[in-house]
Structure 1
Amino acid sequence: MIAEQRRRAYLSAMQVGVWLPRVELPFAAPSRLPLLEPEDEPVELGEEAAPAVDVAPSAAAPATPSAAAPLPSEAPRPRVEMPRPAVAPVETRSETPSAPAVLPPPRFALQLLRAGDCLLLVELPTGEPFQSRDPAYLLLRDMLRAAGLPDSPLQVGDGEPIRWPLLVRGGMDQGPEAARDYVQGVLAGELEQGGRCTWLIGTPALRFAGEVDETAYNREVQVDGLGVLWALPGLELLIDEPARKGELWKAMRRLMPRWLSQPE
């Protein structure tokens, strides 16, 4: 319950001059009854006829000049409307800028692999590491053979996928920008061990490492600190839509010299 003094302080801060509750408030000061009465329509002169006076047949006493009812020849006195105090408009705009909307944390799992002079940042369709007989992993091995790279990629570090969000609870920022900084930091640390090209396979890899979307499929992307990145569709998408493999093969043949040529 809000005490009367605190309520008045809130109204004063909102620049509310007159405020009447619709119901009785606990701990509030008594309301001024005249202000709660409904407003009557103002009466204009010459428009309202004199009210009819009912005279009982048995009334024998004549009306005296001091009677309360007006004489027939007299016009009724108009009701005088007293001016009401003006109500100050409530300022709806806040003085302080509103805080930016907090975006929910994205959810994804990426596997970082190494095949020859290439790093592979691959979206995990199920969120779990690849198994040797997974259709997506078998397709990845076929792609590496076609590119002239070892078809048994090695896991990087401890082999654990890059998962986001990092924490289930807590006040740490886990929005899209934090996720991008984290993925790019992990990738930059591994590129210090060497790598002539990085494959980004799947939408989360494109978004949080290459800062691009699906429109960049089969194209090269240049990111400061990460070098040249190749944007590819996800493995599940290639399985569901085999027609995409033709465009991928054309782009692969164009880029193969980047990782097959001898370093100068």
Structure 2
Amino acid sequence: MIEESRRRAYLSAMQVDCWLPRLSLPFAAPSRPDCLAEVVAAPSLTPPRPASAAPAPSAVPAEPALPGEVLARLPLRRPAPVARAPLETPDSPPEVPVEPVARPVTPRFTLQLYRAGACLLLVELPTGEPFQRRDPSYLLLKDLLRAAGLPDSPQLLGEPLRWPLLNSRDFDQGPQAARAVIEDLLYAQRERGEQWACLWLLGLPALRYAAGADSQDYLRELDLAQLGRAWALPGLELLIDEPQRKAALWQAMQGVQARWRDDEPG
């Protein structure tokens, strides 16, 4: 334990004016009564401030109403319709939905009949109009006829056949009707006394609606019963666009041209 004088020197150095020991210290001076008295708070000289009223909440400005033209554009909410199950009666049979019958697509093409020696030619007109003398398709047709040993100035038979015949949807002008009309046209040539050793079908429409064949039958011979033998050829415009087809056409011609050469007058 340190002496009282030294203890007070330490407390003064630490600027401690009043302190209370936890235990009774030996050699310590008795505590002063004023240090042990309760400290009473001095009354405040300033009058108490009246409690300020709580700030009133600021009024939220009402949302401006929408203009009439904007309201008119807003979609109206309508209650969703309630689906009601149809009443089933034991006597009524269930209704069978009727599927609409799809009408066949009307084909569009133009064909022309020619006569060249012992052959009859049914030729597709690429432009829909009769050939002119300087048309590339007509010049190619003349080359084919010369290569086949036939007259290179074919005889025109009648007007071009343009399909559909009528600009109306009230009549059936589908593929079956087109084939029936072309067959009637060829049979009419037979009834007029026209005879031919071979029928040339040039172009897909001629092949499809005169013989019921398709593009895979190009350069083949077809048997048309009462109309005789037919030879399927690509269209003139296709031969111009794809000249590599001419070599196969020339080879096929060597095998079929005996049909019309044997029928030519000697």
Bucket of the pairwise TM-score, normalised by the shorter protein: 0.5 to 0.7
Pair 1:142-2:109 in alignment: no
Q: Distance in 2 between matches of 1:255 and 1:92?
A: 60
Pair 1:208-2:198 in alignment: no
Q: CA deviation at 1:98?
A: 4.7
Counterpart residue type for residue 204 of structure 2: T
Map of 1:195 onto structure 2: 196
Map of 2:54 onto structure 1: none
The change in CA–CA distance for 1:262 and 1:234 in structure 2 (over 3 A counts) is closer
Structure 2 residue matching 1:161: 3-state secondary structure: strand
Pair 1:261-2:262 in alignment: yes
Q: CA deviation at 1:191?
A: 3.3
Pair 1:105-2:106 in alignment: yes
Map of 2:172 onto structure 1: 173
Counterpart residue type for residue 140 of structure 1: L
Larger Rg: 2
Name the TM-score, length of structure 1 as normaliser. 0.63
Give CA-to-partner distance per residue, 1:30-70, whole Å, 9 cap, x none.
xxxxxx7xxxxxxxxxxxxxxxxxxxxxxxxxxxxxxxxxx
The change in CA–CA distance for 1:106 and 1:86 in structure 2 (over 3 A counts) is closer
Structure 2 residue matching 1:237: 3-state secondary structure: helix
Structure 1 residue matching 2:226: 3-state secondary structure: coil
Map of 2:240 onto structure 1: 239
Aligned identity (percent) is: 53
The change in CA–CA distance for 1:199 and 1:262 in structure 2 (over 3 A counts) is closer
2:123–2:203 Cα contact (<8 Å) kept: yes
1:47-196 → structure 2 map (5 Å cutoff): 88=88, 91=94, 93-94=96-97, 98=99, 100-157=101-158, 160-169=159-168, 171-192=170-191, 193-196=194-197
Q: Distance in 2 between matches of 1:185 and 1:232?
A: 21
Counterpart residue type for residue 247 of structure 1: A
Q: Distance in 2 between matches of 1:138 and 1:156?
A: 18
Q: Distance in 2 between matches of 1:223 and 1:251?
A: 19
Structure 1 unmatched ranges of 5 or more: 1-20, 24-35, 37-84
2:133–2:139 Cα contact (<8 Å) kept: yes
Q: CA deviation at 1:104?
A: 2.4
Q: Distance in 2 between matches of 1:188 and 1:238?
A: 29
Name the TM-score, length of structure 2 as normaliser. 0.63
Q: Distance in 1 between matches of 2:187 and 2:117?
A: 17
Count of paired positions? 181
Q: Distance in 2 between matches of 1:92 and 1:241?
A: 56
Structure 2 residue matching 1:133: 3-state secondary structure: coil
Q: Distance in 2 between matches of 1:100 and 1:261?
A: 51
Map of 1:227 onto structure 2: 228
2:113–2:160 Cα contact (<8 Å) kept: yes
Give CA-to-partner distance per residue, 1:159-193, whole Å, 9 cap, x none.
x1011001002522111100000011101211341
Q: Distance in 1 between matches of 2:176 and 2:108?
A: 13
Structure 1 residue matching 2:123: 3-state secondary structure: strand
Q: CA deviation at 1:200?
A: 0.3
Counterpart residue type for residue 189 of structure 1: A
The change in CA–CA distance for 1:233 and 1:88 in structure 2 (over 3 A counts) is same
Q: Distance in 2 between matches of 1:221 and 1:139?
A: 23
Structure 1 residue matching 2:257: 3-state secondary structure: helix
Q: CA deviation at 1:224?
A: 2.7
Map of 1:26 onto structure 2: none
Q: Distance in 2 between matches of 1:204 and 1:128?
A: 15
Q: CA deviation at 1:131?
A: 0.3
